[in-house]
Amino acid sequence: MKRYVTVALRLLPAMALCLSLTACLDDGDETIALEKRTSLHGIPDDSEAGTSPTITGGTTTVIPNVQYTAEEEDGDIIVRLDMTGVRDPETLEWMRLFGTRQAGQNMWLEVDGKPKGFTVYNNADNETEENISTDLVFLVDNSGSMDQEADAVARDIVNWAQKLAAAHLDVRFGCVGYDVSGYINGGIDLTTATALAEFFNYGSGTTRTTHFAGEYASALSTAAGNYRSTGGECGGKALRFADDNFHFRTRANRVYVNFTDEPNQPNGISAYSTEFFRDQTNWPSTKGTVHTVFSSDTTWVSRESMGYNERPWRISWYTGGTTFFTGPSFTGVDLESLPVTGAMQNSYVIRFTNVADLMDGQPHEVKITILSEDGKTRAVRTFYIVFGYPEDYADEY
């Protein structure tokens, strides 16, 4: 019998990560016995895991943020990582990932510098019945120039959701509207595709996202009043608003799509700056990955002013998302064509075990390395995690 329990995680400042982990195990500790097995619940033993390859020549793709949970199976603790797709930089196809003992291994995992045996299940290959859930939130700049984008989202949302469901994904949808004056002026908490379509069918053009709807409409409207104006479009604030107020599901991948034609304009408020999301202490992996759709020229980029007029896609850089550039008014763009679609359809479930000595309330370094056989697709990313059960960190929930 399998029982799911959340792994609480806390991302800590770099200086706190200098700790070295020493497992204090008695001679009779059963964890030692587990490590001697050749396989546990179909997961290769750590002794079979090879050392992660060294990435040379720079990285060519990005590893998105991941969700962490623990699965208790017959008394054994198994860590599960849920991650959206990784893209081949040349072909723009979504990679199949292969782990320990799998032919064509192109992914490696280390915890505190020690190789871990692990399995990877690719959702796109339909090789597992693992349930992959996604909470998808649209951050919509509803200034006057965004009329056509709003209409496109409303037109395509139902068909797109049906295609995602056919790809074995359990998706819920939400939205935050933000305006030219720097206010949060609309939104709907996570809900069904049908309810979201009703939300977008309010009025036309940008007015579609200038109201609050759904079960939590009143609470969201009240909360929006607590976010003071930034004096300009600020996707960073819309992102923080969703994170603070939406009811995300445990174990679901959090995915955001920010639609805008303007710089991120936090007006000197660091909590809404793109740089806030660079720091894993501020934006832990479980808070999600942000994809950007930008529909304007980028001539202002050379005059970028950090804290005031920022490249909005910096948030995508920092969280492992994609960026899609299109012409004014989002001409020719529909939801299905966005990279985020492929990222969700090509999700992965990564599992490893022998983790009893990690459940100690201390920070642990989890490093993921991806290297294709031809060496052209290269990525490495490190996450800092405190493993534990929900009751260990009740105050954080």
Query: What are the DSSP calls for 385-397, one per residue?
Result: EE---GGGGGGG-
Hey, how many other C-beta atoms are within 10 angstroms of the C-beta on 338? 18
Total-model pTM: 0.84
CATH topology of domain 2-19+37-126+348-387: Immunoglobulin-like (2.60.40)
Residue 326 pLDDT level (bands cut at 50, 70, 90): confident
What is the fold, at CATH topology level, of the domain defined by 132-345? Rossmann fold (3.40.50)
* pLDDT given at position 49: 96
DSSP bridge partners of 71: 4, 78
Position 39 confidence tier, pLDDT thresholds 50, 70, 90: low
State the distance between the two ends of the chain, measured CA to CA, in whole angstroms. Answer: 27
Q: How many helices (H) and strands (E) does the chain have?
A: 7, 18
Predicted confidence (pLDDT) at residue 394 exceeds the cutoff of 60: no
Check whether 35 has a pLDDT greater than 60: no
Query: Dihedral through CA 315, CA 317, CA 320, CA 321, nearest 10?
Result: 70
Q: Which of 199-203, 319-323, 356-360 has the highest mean pLDDT?
A: 319-323
User: Which two tokens mark 273?
Assistant: 């700056």
CA–CA dist 48, 109 (Å, integer): 12
pLDDT value of position 378: 97
Chain position carrying tokens 């002013």: 305
378/326: higher pLDDT: 378
For residue 273, is pLDDT > 70? yes
Q: Which of the pair, 337 or 325, is modelled with greater confidence?
A: 325
Cβ–Cβ < 8 Å for 262, 233? yes
The residue among 13 and 342 whose pLDDT is bigger is 342
Taking alpha carbons only, the member of 267, 264, 270, 223 closest to residue 243 is 223
pLDDT number for residue 388: 63
Phi, psi at residue 192, to the nearest 5°?
A: -85, 165
Please say if the pLDDT value at position 226 is more than 60.
Answer: yes
pLDDT band at 108 (very low <50, low <70, confident <90, very high): very high
Domain with CATH 2.60.40 in the chain: 2-19+37-126+348-387
Averaged pLDDT for residues 290-317: 93
pLDDT value at position 54? 95
The stretch 9-29 carries a mean pLDDT of 37
Residue of 112, 65, 51, 59 lying closest to 387 (CA atoms): 112
pLDDT category, 117, cuts 50, 70, 90? Answer: very high
- 266 φ, ψ (degrees, to nearest 5): -85, -5
Whether pLDDT at 332 is above 70 = no
> Would you place residue 141 in the very low, low, confident or very high pLDDT band (cuts 50, 70, 90)?
very high
Per-residue pLDDT at 127 exceeds 80: no
Question: What's residue 8's pLDDT?
Answer: 43
Q: In which residue ranges of the chain is CATH 3.40.50.410 found?
A: 132-345
DSSP state of 305: B
| Least confident interval from 153-162, 179-188, 314-323, 364-373 | 153-162
Average pLDDT value for the chain: 84
pLDDT of residue 160: 81
Task: Please check the confidence at residue 259 and state whether its pLDDT lies above 60.
Answer: yes
Distance CA 362, CA 358 (A): 8
Sequence-ordered list of residues with C-beta below 8 angstroms from that of 124, at least 6 positions apart, any chain: 94, 96, 167, 345, 346, 347
pLDDT confidence band for 132 (50 / 70 / 90)? confident
Residues 202, 180: Cα–Cα separation, whole Å = 19
Say whether pLDDT at 72 is over 90.
no
Query: Which DSSP string do the residues of 51-78 spell out, in sequence order?
Result: PPPPP-S---S-PPPEEEEEEEETTEEE
Confidence at 166, pLDDT banded by 50, 70, 90: confident
> What three-state secondary structure class fits 345?
helix
Please state, in angstroms and rounded to a whole number, the distance separating the CA atoms of residues 187 and 165.
23
Looking at residue 327, what is its pLDDT?
75
pLDDT at 33: 35
pLDDT at residue number 376: 95
